[in-house]
Amino acid sequence: MLADRTKLVPASEIRKMYNMARGRSNILDLTVGQPDFDTPDFIKVAAKKAIDDGYTKYTHNAGLIEVREALAKKAKRENGIDANPEKEIICTAGGMGSLLLANLVLVNPGDEVIYPDPGFVSHYAHIMLSGGVPVPVQLKRENGFAVRAEDIEKLITRKTKLLVINYPNNPTGGVISNSELKKIAELAIARNIFVLADEAYEKFRYGGEKPLNIGSLPGMKERTITLFSFSKSYAMTGWRIGFAIGPEEIVAAMVRIQEHILSMPTAISQKAAEAAVTGPQDCIKIMLDTFRKRRDVITKGLQSIEGIKVDPPGGAFYIFPDVSAYKMKSFDLAVKILDDTGVVLVHGSGFGRYGEGYLRLCYAVSTEVIQDALGRLDSYLPKLLKKSR
């Protein structure tokens, strides 16, 4: 009954763990990646006003022009990217909408797309839906999960069309240095490859140098699509709003396809996004400070558990400990942990083959939940380790 294309995309392994835990009692959920904060009030107020002001109709397929103008200013101010709001910006349903459209407009059947592994599960799915050939590039713990230009270079062939990068990274929490980013940009230019830069976690970095955006580097504007999301930055996962910046021809094609899929993201969410980027930004600092404290608690807690190897993640709200000492498939380990402790987390292999041997824990939950989870893991895992020896 179903078309072949439905077989190309697997169900999310995050959901698999989440569903397995449903209905059980005394569960501590560290699976789904969304801030435990509510959307800031000033954004909600702007959305209610948008309804009253009549933003209840279709808009331009790329989004309202005043919203795109506000987004262009944000991109210039925060990311150093120059974008013409009329031609180089598209509002989409979450960052997800931008990711899918970028793949659909750039990738021909048979084109190779290099993407991070372990990585965000939809990167792989979008390549498959576009008929592309997914080519995983391994993110290695010894490099802080920052992708290396030299590792990308080894994978480039005549058929390579697109490179996906994502920092701060889901699922590892890794960040990348500006110097490595520059090397990647040079490589993309030299080998004529497009870059899809996934900035969904741009606001969540715990120190380090001021990050450069690859789309702002010399020679990169014409080959980079940068996507931003309001989901994590402003705790707006349910509003489904994000946007992409890219070369005029690519954005025009994304707009054309969006017209036939979604028309445009809801006008109300567009106005909420405009308020988010033009309003006070202290909500971000509050979230960032809170996540930083939780990151410190979870890193220290995990580091003190026998058999776990982990470094403090530089960004996002995930931690990706190496649990290879347990000599078990990460899925089996995640299920055992769920069954025996009630802590639900995600197996690293759910993020690609190079995620095997790791677990992902999302710490966008209260410190109490983190401490409770650490306590349960600490009284369980060392015993399991003894058995595995």
Ligand X SMILES: Cc1ncc(COP(=O)(O)O)c(C=O)c1O
Please state the closest distance from residue 176 (CB atom) to ligand X, in A: 14
**Residue 364 and residue 35 in contact, taking contact as beta carbons nearer than 8 Å:** yes
Strands 89-92 and 112-117: unpaired
| Options 229-237, 300-308, 320-328, 361-369: segment touching ligand X (CB under 6 A) | 229-237
Pick between residue 71 and residue 374 the one whose CB is nearest to ligand X: 71
Pick between residue 33 and residue 313 the one whose CB is nearest to ligand X: 33
In the bound state, the residue with its beta carbon closest to ligand X is 94
Please state the closest distance from residue 98 (CB atom) to ligand X, in A: 8
Decide if residue 258 touches ligand X (CB under 6 A): no
**Residue 173 and residue 123 in contact, taking contact as beta carbons nearer than 8 Å:** no
Pick between residue 234 and residue 326 the one whose CB is nearest to ligand X: 234
**Residue 364 and residue 319 in contact, taking contact as beta carbons nearer than 8 Å:** no
**Residue 211 and residue 226 in contact, taking contact as beta carbons nearer than 8 Å:** no
Pick between residue 95 and residue 246 the one whose CB is nearest to ligand X: 95
Each residue 200-219 as x (binds ligand X by CB under 6 A) or -, in order, gives x-------------------
Residues 70 and 210: their CA atoms lie apart, in Å, by 22
Residues 13 and 15: their CA atoms lie apart, in Å, by 5
Site for ligand X in 104-163 (CB under 6 A): 120
Pick between residue 119 and residue 307 the one whose CB is nearest to ligand X: 119
Decide if residue 231 touches ligand X (CB under 6 A): yes
Q: Mapping DSSP to helix (H, G, I), strand (E, B) and coil, where does residue 329 land?
A: coil
Pick between residue 96 and residue 277 the one whose CB is nearest to ligand X: 96
Decide if residue 237 touches ligand X (CB under 6 A): yes
> Whole-angstrom distance between the N-terminal and C-terminal Cα of the chain?
48
- Residue 348 one-letter amino acid: G
Residues 255 and 94: their CA atoms lie apart, in Å, by 15
Residues 279 and 295: their CA atoms lie apart, in Å, by 27
Pick between residue 59 and residue 166 the one whose CB is nearest to ligand X: 166
- Binding-site size for ligand X (CB under 6 A) equals 13
Whole-Å CA distances, 8 to 98, 112, 131, 138: 20, 16, 9, 21
Site for ligand X in 314-353 (CB under 6 A): none
Pick between residue 95 and residue 132 the one whose CB is nearest to ligand X: 95
Q: Which residues contact 281 (CB under 8 A, 6 or more apart)?
A: none
Please state the closest distance from residue 199 (CB atom) to ligand X, in A: 8
Decide if residue 226 touches ligand X (CB under 6 A): no
Residues 301 and 305: their CA atoms lie apart, in Å, by 7
**Residue 105 and residue 132 in contact, taking contact as beta carbons nearer than 8 Å:** no
The correct pick among 59, 79, 160, 170 for binding ligand X (CB under 6 A) is 170
The correct pick among 130, 166, 216, 330 for binding ligand X (CB under 6 A) is 166
Each residue 76-105 as x (binds ligand X by CB under 6 A) or -, in order, gives ------------------xxx---------
- Residue 101 one-letter amino acid: L
Q: Mapping DSSP to helix (H, G, I), strand (E, B) and coil, where does residue 203 land?
A: coil
Decide if residue 33 touches ligand X (CB under 6 A): yes
What residues make contact with ligand X under the rule CB under 6 A? Answer: 33, 94-96, 120, 166, 170, 198, 200, 229, 231, 237, 242
